Structure 1
Amino acid sequence: MRKLLNTVYVTTEGTALKKDGENLVAEVEGAERARVPLHMLASVVAFGPILLTPALIGTCAERGITLVILDRNGRFQARIEGPVTGNVLLRRAQYRAAEGGEDIVRSIVIGKIANQRAVIRRAIRDYSEEMDPQARAALETATDRMAMILRRVQAKDDSVELLRGSEGEAANHYFAVFDHLIRSPDPELRWTARSRRPPLDAMNALLSFLYTLLTHDCRSACEAVGLDPAVGFLHRDRPGRPSLALDLMEELRAPLADRLALSLVNRRQLRAADFRRMEGGAVLLTDDARKLVLTAWQDRKKEERLHPFLAEKAAFGLVPWLQAQMLARHLRGDIDAYPPWFWS
């Protein structure tokens, strides 16, 4: 099993990142604040104005350590990586499969809907006694309708367009009852509808931030196994969009990102004061809240779950790489189909 390497998140503005021997060193106003061995790193994610020395950039590129630069609000700006090492034969197979890919899209959609439904079922199981009867009825109805969509997707040989429609239909049912999963007393943390670019409320701001982190991990996983992250199956090709990374993350949004967001809010680790509203209406995490979320994200990635196809336990943080590897094996013809990852 692949070793789960670390991702370093740098959030303090003005931090200088440099190479010192075999270590990455972070300095703030000339004082050393952190030191991490380079061999333990998979990537470095910098938020806002962070200094990267040429020596560090060159070493990271040489050793396959990805440098990702985001603005202070978490929006992607740039990515620095070394030479592409993807297998050209694997990528040719990927490009050919992307012209159709109904079987792969079907697996992704099945995995996503099943995992969204599992999140709702888990909430019903754990908190049914505390729920309002109408809320529980709404959750039960949503899971029943999502189960019907799942059976339809599994039974019919639909086109990619119809599969996309089924995925969107299930997502509408899921987010229509998402507010019933929130148990925070703060009215500012209630859910109304999905909004992005920019997020217009606190829960959307939290989800968007977590989805950004998950996208980075899925893109790195694609590149690690030699796939082209820009050429997907469920998501249409678009210049500058990592469509395949977005495909891989669909199965993981609900169990990894959504569940973490709900945990942070329901355990009252995040409150209304941890979000700020900008002049244009966008809602963003405060700096301290962002650090709390990053710490929780790293801890969640260390948790282990049984991989249903491999029948082995693996850390959450390795699941994107394992799924990218399963997809690569399918494209090479080593396995008959791409096996989705089911959370339980």
Structure 2
Amino acid sequence: MKKLLNTVYVTTVNAALKKDGENLVADVEGKERARIPLHILASFVAFGPILVSPALIGACSGAGISIVMLDRVGRFQARIEGPVSGNVLLRTAQYRLARADGLEVARSFVLGKIANQRAILRRALRDYGAEMGDGPTKDLERAAARMAAILRRAQLGDGTIDALMGSEGEAAMQYFAVFDHLIRSPDKEFRWTGRHRRPPRDPMNALLSFLYTLLTHDCRSACESVGLDPAVGFLHSLRPGRPSLALDLMEELRAPLVDRLALSLVNRRQLRAGDFRWMDGGAVLLSDDGRRTVLDAWQSRKKEERLHPFLRERIPFGLVPFVQAQLLSRYLRGDVDGYPPWFWS
């Protein structure tokens, strides 16, 4: 199994990253602030104007360490990586299935996503139902029941991607319609009015969007680590520059890895309204301190272990995308009969 290597997040504006021996060194205003051995790194992610030396780029490329450049608000700008080591036969099987009929793989992604969103609602009912009051409790119960029906329909659907996408969209509407009942923060700024992405217009949407960016990076790395092409998916349409397979893979992981972490950070008051910035154009962004809090929590979350329902062994959350990518590659090779989604409970 893949060793859980580290991802380093560089958030200090105008930091300079360089190679010194077999180490990544971060300098800020001419002073060394961090020194990390390259052999323990899987990737590093830089936010905003960060200087990366050519020597460090070369060393990372040769060692299989990916470099991801994001702007200060977390939007993707560039990715640097070394030669692709994917198995040509595996990728040929991936392309063939994507062109012909990837419906069953797409169905697994959708089933995993809906089931895990529903599990979030059921967990909230179990943990806090007695404190919510009759109105919110009934709303959550109705949404969970409707999502169960959508899940059955998706499993026994008419066999088209459009029908699957319709089921996924309907389940998402049910889920986000009651999402505000899951937020227990006293800060009125965290009240949920709907999903707004480009740009996020409230703190909760800003938090979700930031964490989804981190999950996309991990899913893309997972696809590449087993030799899959992250651009050729089965559920999301192909588009230049879009990592469609990485987006497919993250669908079943959004609710348990991102949504639950975001709710935990807000409900435990690790993040407050003061950790966000309201911009002139209406966008809401994490502050520098807020972003550091989220990154620390994200790294800690990835170390927590859960039982994998298919493998029947405990693995860290951070390895789930890599395990799922490996299971997908096994399906494409014909080693297993179908792609097993990761169901959270």
Shorter-normalised TM-score: what interval? over 0.9
Determine if contact 2:189/2:203 at 8 Å carries over to the other structure: yes
* RMSD across aligned positions (CA): 0.8
Aligned to 1:10: 10
Counterpart Cα distance in 1 of 2:220 and 2:156: 31
- Please state whether the residue corresponding to 2:253 is helix, strand or coil: helix
**Matched ranges for 1:185-334 at <5 A:** 185-334=186-335
Determine if contact 2:157/2:164 at 8 Å carries over to the other structure: no
State the TM-score, normalized to the length of structure 1.
0.99
* Percent of aligned pairs with the same amino acid: 75
Counterpart Cα distance in 2 of 1:201 and 1:241: 26
1:35 is displaced (CA, Å) by 1.0
Verify: 1:172 aligned to 2:173, yes or no: yes
Counterpart Cα distance in 2 of 1:206 and 1:156: 34
1:264 is displaced (CA, Å) by 0.4
Counterpart Cα distance in 2 of 1:204 and 1:31: 36
Q: Report the AA paired with residue 298 of structure 2.
A: W
Counterpart Cα distance in 2 of 1:132 and 1:12: 44
1:92 is displaced (CA, Å) by 1.0
Counterpart Cα distance in 2 of 1:154 and 1:189: 35
Q: Report the AA paired with residue 272 of structure 2.
A: R
Structure 2 regions of 5+ residues with no counterpart? none
Counterpart Cα distance in 2 of 1:98 and 1:138: 39
Counterpart Cα distance in 1 of 2:176 and 2:150: 15
Number of matched pairs:
344
- Please state whether the residue corresponding to 1:24 is helix, strand or coil: strand
Counterpart Cα distance in 2 of 1:32 and 1:110: 48
Counterpart Cα distance in 2 of 1:235 and 1:271: 34
Query: Which deviates the most, 62-71 or 158-167?
Result: 158-167
Aligned to 1:92: 92
Q: What per-residue deviation string (whole Å, max 9, x for no partner) do you get for residues 23-61 of structure 1?
A: 111111111111111110000000001110111000000
Counterpart Cα distance in 2 of 1:56 and 1:132: 56
**Matched ranges for 1:137-156 at <5 A:** 137-156=138-157
1:96 is displaced (CA, Å) by 1.0
Q: What per-residue deviation string (whole Å, max 9, x for no partner) do you get for residues 127-159 of structure 1?
A: 112102100100000000000011112223521
Q: Report the AA paired with residue 8 of structure 2.
A: V
Structure 1 regions of 5+ residues with no counterpart? none
Aligned to 2:32: 32
Counterpart Cα distance in 1 of 2:189 and 2:342: 33
Determine if contact 2:185/2:269 at 8 Å carries over to the other structure: yes
- Please state whether the residue corresponding to 2:252 is helix, strand or coil: helix
Counterpart Cα distance in 1 of 2:293 and 2:17: 21
Aligned to 2:48: 48
Counterpart Cα distance in 2 of 1:163 and 1:156: 7
Aligned to 1:112: 113
Q: Report the AA paired with residue 275 of structure 1.
A: F
State the TM-score, normalized to the length of structure 2.
0.99
Runs of 4+ in 1 over 3 A off after TM superposition: none
Aligned to 1:160: 161
**Matched ranges for 1:125-136 at <5 A:** 125-136=126-137
Counterpart Cα distance in 2 of 1:282 and 1:306: 38
